[in-house]
Amino acid sequence: MDHQCATAASAPGLTEQEARQRLDAEGFNDLPGTDSRSFVRILGDVLREPMFALLLGAGAIYLFLGDLTDALMLLVFACLSISISVIQELRSERVLEALRDMTSPRALVIRDGSRKRIPGREVVRGDAIVLLEGDRVPADSLLVAANNLLIDESLLTGESAPVRKLATGGSKDAGMARPGGEDQPFLFSGTLIVRGDGLAIVRSTGQRSEIGKIGQTLGKIVAEPPRLRQQTRSLVRNFAAAGMAASLLAVLLYGFLRGDWLQAVLGGIALDMSMLPQEFPLVLSAFMVMGAWRLSQARVLTRRAAAIEMLGSATVLCTDKTGTLTENRMTIAELRTPAETWRAVAGASAPGGLIELIEAALLASGRDSFDPMERAIAGQASLHPGGSEDVYAGLELIRQYGLRPELLAMTNVWRRREGAECLAFTKGAPEAIGSLCRLDAEQLAWVRTALDEMAREGVRVLGVARTIHADLELPEDQQGFAFEFLGLVGFADPLRTNVPEAVRECQSAGVRVIMITGDYPATAEAIGRKAGLTGSGVIDGEELVRLDDAAVTARLRTISVFARILPEQKLRIVDALKADGEIVAMTGDGVNDAPALKSAHIGIAMGGRGTDVAREASSIVLLDDDFGSIVRTIRLGRRIYDNLRKAIAYIVAVHVPIAGLALVPLLFGFPLILTPIHIAFLEMVIDPACSIVFEAEPDEDDLMRRPPRSAESRLLSGAMAGWSLFQGLLAFAAVAAIFAGGLLRQLPENELRALVFVSLVLINGSLILVNRSSSGSLIQAIVRPNLSLWVLLSGVVAVLAVTLTWQPAMDLFRFGPLHLDDLGVTLLAGGTILVVLQLAKPIWRKASRPSRELGLNVPSPNQP
C-alpha cells in the first residue's frame, strides 16, 4: 500500500515551541469546564424543595408526639427521596464530562519534523496529524494527503455507512464544511478512521470544533422542571394552608367558648395532622422510586425520575435511524447480475450462481477490515461452503490500487502460488466499474435501471468486476486491466425485526413516530416505509434551512421522515414540536443526538451502542437497545401516572371524614373522637395504601388504547377533585350519622369512640377498593389481583382486633367494648359506602364533561 501521504515531508508541521505558544494562547483541545454544582450545593437545592421539607417536618412532628414508628418511616422516605434526587442531579452534571472524554484521544503529530504521540488535548491549530486505520480524529482538520481513506462520521451525522475522504487540491485556506457527504477533505474531531491513512492539518480545536459546538449547545439547554413536582408543591401549599387555618380557628373557638385550652390544643393538633398533606410528596417519591425499579425490570434505566411522570403524556416520539430503528451494521441486502437477482435472507448463503460475485467482492476488499461494507461482504462469504478462508486459499496479495478522485474504485491483485498468472478484482461506484469494464449501451442501461430500483429501497450499491492478467508487468493504474463485469452488491443497515410492531403499538396509543436521521433521503424514506411510519414525503436539511419556524411547525404535522439533518436541526425540530404543544420523547445514540435528547421532555438513549454523551444527556437508557422497549416504557409510564392519580384521589377522599371528625367536636363541644394517636393509626393505613397498594395496581384494560393525556392536565383535576370530595363527604355523612346515633343512645364516651373509629377504618377500606379502578365493576374492585392490598387489609383487621380486645391497647386508644350489634353497624356502613360509590362511579363519569382542562383522556388537537 502506498503510504506516501503520511510522510513528514509532505507537511513539516509545527515546532514544539510553536505548539506551546499556540497551546498557551488558544487553550487545550477539550471542552471548557462548566460551572458544575458541588455535592453540597446540590444537596442544599434539594433540601429547599417544599416536599422534602414537609416530609422532614412531618417526621419531626410525629417524633415530638412520641410516635417513633411513623416518624422513622417518614424520615426514611425523606432520606431515600433526597438521596435519589441528589444522585440524579450529580449524574446530570456528567454530560459534558463524557463529551470531553470523547474529544481527547491520543494523536500522532509531526513536531520538529518527527512523528510523536501526544494526548489529544495537546493538539493545537496548525498541527500536522498522521491518520491511521482505527484511530479517532483528534481535532477538526483539513486533509492534505490521503490513501483510500474512509471515515465513520455516524456520531455526528447518524449516517450508517462511512464516507470517503479526498485530499484538498492544495488550498489550505479552504473553509470547513459540515459533517457528512462523500469526497470532501474535511475531518471532524471524534470520528473514526475505518480504512486507509492520511495526513491532515488541524483547523479547529476544543469548543471551536464541530463536537465542541454540540457541547456548547448542551451547556445552554435548561431542562424543564418536573410538572408533577410543581403540581405537588401547589397541592401541598394549598392543603397545608387550609389545615393550619382550620386548626388555628378551631383551637381559638374551643378555647374561648369552653375554656379548656389543653383539649383545644390537642384537638387542634389532631385536626392539623388530619389535614397535613404529607402523603402527597410521600406518594410521589414512592411512585418514582418504584417506577424506576419496574422500568429496570424491563431493562430500562431511569436516570431522571421526572421522565417517568412524562412517559404517559408523550404525543410524539422522535427517533434516530441508525442503531435505533436499524441494527447499525451493514449487511448484504441484494445481489444482482444481468441473469439473476437475489434478495438476502438473514443467515442464508447466496445461491450457486451468485457465489462468484461475493467471492470477487471479498477478494477486492481488505482482510480484517474496519470498513462496514467489507465486513458485510466477509460475513456473507463465511456462509458459503468452506467459508471465506477457502476463497483466499492459494492466493497471495501482490498489489492494491486505492480510490482516486477521478476513479472511485479499488482493485486488489492476487497471484496464485502455483502459477504465474495474476487475478485482479475490483469494486467501487457502479459508474466507475462500468467505465473500467467498458460496458456497451445495453449493459449500461441495465446498470442504471438496477441502480434506480435499488436506490428506491434505500440500498447502497457497489459494482464488482474481475480479470485474469497474464503479463508479468502490472499496469500503472486500474484502467490498464481488461475487467469483466460481474454484477452489483447492495448493502443496507437492516431494520430491527420488532420495529414495525412497536411503531404500530405507539400509533395505537396515539403516539406519532417521527424519524430524524443524517442519512440520505432515499435510505431514510425506505426505512420509514418498512417501519410503518405515517405521513408523506421527506424533508432534508437543506430544505429545513429555508423554512421559517412557522413553516417548520406546519410541516411537522404531516411529515414523519427527516433526512440529512444536522445536530442543531434535530434540536430545532424538537423545540418546534414542544412549542406546538407536543410532549416529545426523543431516542438516539450518537453525539449528534445529545442536544435534542437533553431538550426533549423525555430523552431516551440506546445503552449498548449509544455513546456516553448520548446516555448522559438522556433521562432514560434502553439497556438492550431494543426499540420495542420504548413501547413497554410508555405502557409503564401510563400505568404509573394512572395509579398515582388513583392514590391522590383516595388521599383527598379519606382526609375529608377524618378532618370532619376532628373538627365537629371542637366546634360543637362534643367529646373528642380523634386524638393524635388515632390519626397516627389511620396514617399507618393511609400511607402504605397510597404508596404501596395503589402503586402495585395492574394496568387498566384500555391503558394503551387511550390517546396521550393532555400536557395541561393536572394531577388533581377539577373532575377528579369533585369525585374525591363526593366520596369524602359521603363517607363523612356515614360516620357522622353513626356518631349522632351514638350520642342519641347516650353511649359512654369510650364506647362511642370505638364505634365511630372502627366505622371510619372500615369505610377507609371501602374507599381504597372504590379507587382501585376508574371503570371497574364492584366485583372487579374486590377480585382484581393485588397482593399488597390484601396483606394491608389483613394487617389492619388484625391490629384493629387487638385494639378492641386487648386491654392495654384499649386503654391506649381510650376504647370501650364494641358490642356485636355495634360491629354490625360498622360493617353495614363500610359495605354501604362501597356499593353506593361503585354505583355512582359511572354516573359521575358520564356527568363529568370531558375536557383537556379537567385532565381527562382526549386527543391532542395536533394529533393526526
The DSSP code for 324 is I
Give the separation between CA 27 and CA 647, rounded to whole angstroms: 55
User: Nearest 5°: phi and psi at 48?
Assistant: -80, -10
How far is residue 640's CA from residue 117's CA, in Å, rounded to a whole number?
53
pLDDT at 362 over 90: yes
Torsion angle of C-alpha atoms 113, 114, 116, 122, degrees rounded to 10: -10
Q: Number of helices (H) and strands (E), helices first, in the chain?
A: 31, 22
Q: Mean pLDDT check: name the lowest of 186-200, 285-299, 634-648.
A: 285-299
For 579, the grid coordinates are 412549542
- Assess contact for 244 and 121: CB atoms under 8 A: no
Q: HEC profile for 493-515?
A: CCECCCHHHHHHHHHHCCCEEEE
The pLDDT value given to residue 92: 46
Q: CA–CA separation, 420 vs 472, rounded Å?
A: 8
Q: Are 267 and 662 in contact (CB under 8 A)?
A: yes
Rounded-to-integer distance, Cα 472 and Cα 487, Å: 27
d(CA 206, CA 26): 9
Rounded Cα–Cα distance for residues 758 and 818 (Å): 9
| Cell (9 digits) for 707 | 390517546
**Amino acid identity at 286:** A
Is the CB of residue 334 less than 8 Å from the CB of residue 380? no
For 374-397, what is the mean pLDDT? 89
For cell 360509590, what's the residue? 837
Q: Quote the pLDDT of residue 640.
A: 85
Q: pLDDT tens-digit profile of 767-806?
A: 999 998 877 677 878 888 888 899 989 998 998 999 899 9
**In a 3-state reduction of DSSP, which class is residue 411?**
strand
Summarize the confidence of residues 253-257 as an average pLDDT: 68
What is the per-residue pLDDT for 854? 33
- Dig out the grid coordinates for 467 from the structure: 480479470
What SS3 class is residue 693? helix
Which range (426-430, 581-585, 734-738) has the least confidence? 581-585
For the beta carbon of residue 811, count every other beta carbon within 10 angstroms.
10
| pLDDT of 613 above 90 | no
What is the pLDDT at residue 860? 37
Higher pLDDT pick, 716 / 502: 502
Task: Give the model's confidence band at 3: pLDDT under 50 very low, under 70 low, under 90 confident, else very high.
Answer: very low
Residue in 195, 213, 117 with CA at minimum distance from that of residue 569 = 213
Identify the pLDDT of residue 28: 84
Give me the pLDDT at residue 195, please.
80
Which region among 144-148, 282-286, 470-474, 564-568 has the lowest average model confidence (pLDDT)?
Answer: 282-286
pLDDT per position as a tens digit, 258-313 = 666 656 665 566 566 556 555 666 677 677 777 777 877 777 877 766 677 677 78
- What is the CA angle 501-506-512, rounded to 5? 125
pLDDT at 81: 57
Q: 737 near 801, Cβ under 8 Å?
A: no
3-state SS class at 568:
helix
Give CA–CA dist 137/130, Å, rounded.
9
Cell numbers for 415:
497471484
Q: How far is CA 337 from CA 439, 485, 490, 827, in A?
A: 14, 9, 11, 83
Give pLDDT, residue 205: 86
Q: Of 554-568, 700-714, 844-858, which one has max mean pLDDT? A: 554-568
Residue-wise pLDDT for 56-90, tens only, equals: 655 665 566 565 755 675 566 567 656 655 665 55
Amino acid identity at 135? D
∠ CA 569-570-572, rounded to 5°: 60
CB 496 within 8 A of CB 331: no
pLDDT band at 610 (very low <50, low <70, confident <90, very high): low
* Better-predicted residue by pLDDT, 177 or 485: 485
Paired residues of 563 in beta bridges: 540
Mean pLDDT, the chain, rounded, equals 80
Bridge partners for 163 per DSSP: 151
Yes or no: say if 412 and 393 are a contact pair by the CB < 8 Å rule.
no
Contact 208, 152 (CB under 8 A): no
Q: What is the DSSP string of 573-585?
A: HHHHHHHTT--EE
Q: Tell me, what's the pLDDT at 243?
A: 65
| pLDDT higher at 435 or 95 | 435
465-491 CB burial, b ≥16 within 10 A, e <16:
bbbebeeeeeeeebeebebebbbbbbb
CB–CB of 511/316 below 8 Å?
Answer: yes
Is the separation of the CB atoms in 841 and 835 below 8 Å? no
Highest-confidence segment of 52-61, 225-234, 286-295, 422-431:
422-431
Question: For the chain, what percent of residues have pLDDT higher than 70?
Answer: 76
For 521-546, write each residue's pLDDT tens digit. Answer: 888 888 999 999 987 789 998 899 99
Cell of 700: 387498566
Q: Global pTM?
A: 0.67
pLDDT given at position 562: 93
Q: Is the pLDDT of residue 625 over 80?
A: no
Q: What angle is formed at CA 208 by the lines to CA 207 and CA 212, rounded to 5 degrees? A: 40
Contacts 24+ apart (CB under 8 A), 164-167: 164/403, 164/408, 165/198, 166/405, 167/5, 167/143, 167/198
DSSP 17-86: HHHHHHHHHH--SSPPPP-PPPHHHHHHHHHTSHHHHHHHHHHHHHHHTT-HHHHHHHHHHHHHHHHHHH
Residues listed for the chain: 864
Distance CA 335, CA 488 (A): 6
How far is 124 from 202, CA to CA, in rounded Å?
7
Phi and psi, residue 832, nearest 5°: -65, -45
> What number of CA atoms fall less than 13 Å from residue 577's CA on the CB side?
31
Whether the Cβ atoms of residue 274 and residue 658 lie closer than 8 Å to each other: yes
Looking at residue 305, its pLDDT comes to 64
Identify the pLDDT of residue 515: 92
Segment 639-661 mean pLDDT: 87
What is the reported pLDDT for 845?
Answer: 75
Q: What is the pLDDT of residue 50?
A: 47
d(CA 396, CA 392): 8
Q: Are 653 and 618 in contact (CB under 8 A)?
A: no
Give the integer Cα–Cα distance in Å for 527 and 257. Answer: 79
Selection from 649, 596, 625 nearest residue 221 by Cα = 596
CA distance 800 to 218: 56
User: 792-803 in b/e burial notation, b at 16+ Cβ within 10 A?
Assistant: bbeebeeebeeb
For residue 405, what pLDDT band results from cuts at 50, 70 and 90?
confident
